[in-house]
Chains A and B, each alone.
Chain A
Amino acid sequence: MRSGHLALSARGVQMQYRDRGTGKTLLAIENVDLDVPDGAFVSLLGPSGCGKSTFLKIVNGLLPATSGEIKLHRVAKGREDAMVFQDAALFPWYSVLDNVAYGLVCAGVTRGEARRRAAPFIELVGLKGFDDKYPYQLSGGMQQRANLARALAVDSAILLMDEPFAALDAQTRELMQAELLRIWNAAKKTVLFVTHQIDEAVYLSDRVVVMAARPGKVIADIEIDLPRPRPLSVKRTPEFAVYEERIWRLIAGEYEQARAAPDAAS
């Protein structure tokens, strides 16, 4: 099923922001190395502000890194990567169908053709019958389904997901996690998933890459050896708890260190 090559390979990625007004610089991420095999589900886990979004934006081409290099495995047609944003990511003036078709329109497909090709993805994410609704008529969970469908519709090899479920309530979030695994399985994609929730990362991923802040860097890379398919009940197993505990310790340890040396952290 998996072809064995790397879908994404990052080396020494560093990002320094500069405030135009004051000229002050901020090292958002420092020397990040990351390999994502084709077809894998990898999560980037870390506290808010550790540079997860920054890294995804660099991969997506929204931001130029200050140093380092990222290689994406070429695909025969279409884009290598597509982004699923966290919130406010649908155009309020477009219907669900037009929003889902938008990625294709950006790729130069005509609007009619884009709509035709978007339709099956609306069905895949479970929004059948909502084509003509506007975003304000959808619940948060449904909006994120549409958001996901837009990224799926451009048929990229890699999905970049930036905390897509962070704004949802706990029950909806769990439901969407299970849905995402179903869709991932059906669509055969590589996923790079960003989250700050330990249980979400463990439940979804083949591998969890743990990051620390100030400056953002990778502090651990953990294989999640839980069998698939994973029903939500996996979260109540002792194996799952062990993974959660292990990652929690890593993050808490990093936090203690940062507190012990506040000057080094700033």
Chain B
Amino acid sequence: MTEAAAFRVIRARARRKRHPLRRWYRGNERAILSAAGIVSFIAAWQVGSDAGLISKFFFSSPVEVAAAGALEVQKARFWEDVKISASELAIGSLAAVLLAVPLGIAIGWYRRVSLTFDPWLNFFNALPRVALIPLVVLWVGLGFEMKTIIVFFGGFFSIILPTVEGVRTVDRQLLDVARSFRAPERLIFTSLVIPGTLPFIVSGIRLAVGRVLAGVIIAEFYAQTAGLGVMIARSEASLQSDRMLFGVLIFTVLGIVLTEAVGIAERYLQRWRPSLDLEEAA
């Protein structure tokens, strides 16, 4: 019998010499394919609308959107709108974080606070935020304050609920360790509760990004006074789909940037967690 028939042979992976271009592709495959995906989407949109397959009236085209944008950024009115939306967003979000985090920790830590606040939280969270708008309008009118408050609500509930959850799921075993060493409450808080809750807070903030952006738009649609939401709405009214899509694109970019920023913060705060992406390769 020959050896080939008698044995199944498992050989080492041959180290093939690959073309440098191919090696470059393998090393950057993710970035290359992502870019390819976006580029072909934009190209298909442009070609489709030039060929008349996609209605220019409704969906415009990438070139037209870019042109509308170039025109827009030269207007003082546009920068006025940007300033207003940005202030609403900044103030509302900041207030949401500053209030939701301490309150969430208190609710999570003190049983009685929690039992009293829980139904309220659940109620307001279940309530569609647009239903709050008329109430807020009654309270402060249609101006800047109302829009900022709507932004605040969007962020506040997205952050406070995970924060409460985070405090409640602090590792019981570590808590026992701390207590058995007679750690004072303060130390338990700073060494255990806060670090254990941080990932939850950050994931709440990640959720809040979408909500505060939606809050600005909803409030501005409703109030129709000023801001980027109004610019979008006015473009729709005057059937300028290119200008409208330029406005939408601003929120897309803002959403990506903010989410990415939260992601960076998240990776930094979680740096003590072992990374799981060891690859089997040689």
Contacts and interface: CB of A to CB of B under 8 A. Distances in A.
A contacts B directly (C-beta below 8 A)? yes
Interface of A: 5, 9, 13-21, 25, 58-59, 61, 63-74, 80
Interface stretch (B8-16, B105-113, B138-146): B8-16
Interface in B1-27: 5-13, 15
A72 B10 contact: yes
B9 A71 contact: yes
A58 B11 CA distance: 10
Nearest to B4: A74
Contact of B7 (A19, A21, A73): A73
Nearest to B14: A64
Contacts of B9: 69-72
A20 B277 contact: yes
A9 B277 CA distance: 33
Contacts of A16: 282
B26 to A, nearest CB: 11
B185 interface: no
A64 B275 contact: no
12 contacts: A13-B12, A17-B278, A20-B277, A20-B278, A20-B281, A21-B277, A63-B280, A64-B12, A66-B13, A68-B12, A70-B10, A73-B8
A101 B8 CA distance: 25
Nearest to B15: A66
Contacts of A66: 12-13, 15, 282
A61 B10 contact: yes
B141 to A, nearest CB: 53
Contact of B281 (A18, A65, A74): A18
A41 to B, nearest CB: 21
Contacts of A72: 7-10
A17 B280 contact: yes
Given A66-B282, A74-B6, 16 more contacts: A15-B282, A18-B281, A20-B279, A21-B275, A21-B277, A59-B10, A61-B10, A63-B280, A64-B13, A65-B11, A65-B13, A66-B15, A69-B10, A71-B10, A74-B8, A80-B8
A68 B278 CA distance: 23
Contacts of B277: 20-21
B7 A58 contact: no
Contacts of A61: 10
Nearest to A75: B8
Contacts of A25: 282
Contact of A74 (B7, B11, B12): B7
Interface in B253-282: 275, 277-282
A67 B8 CA distance: 17
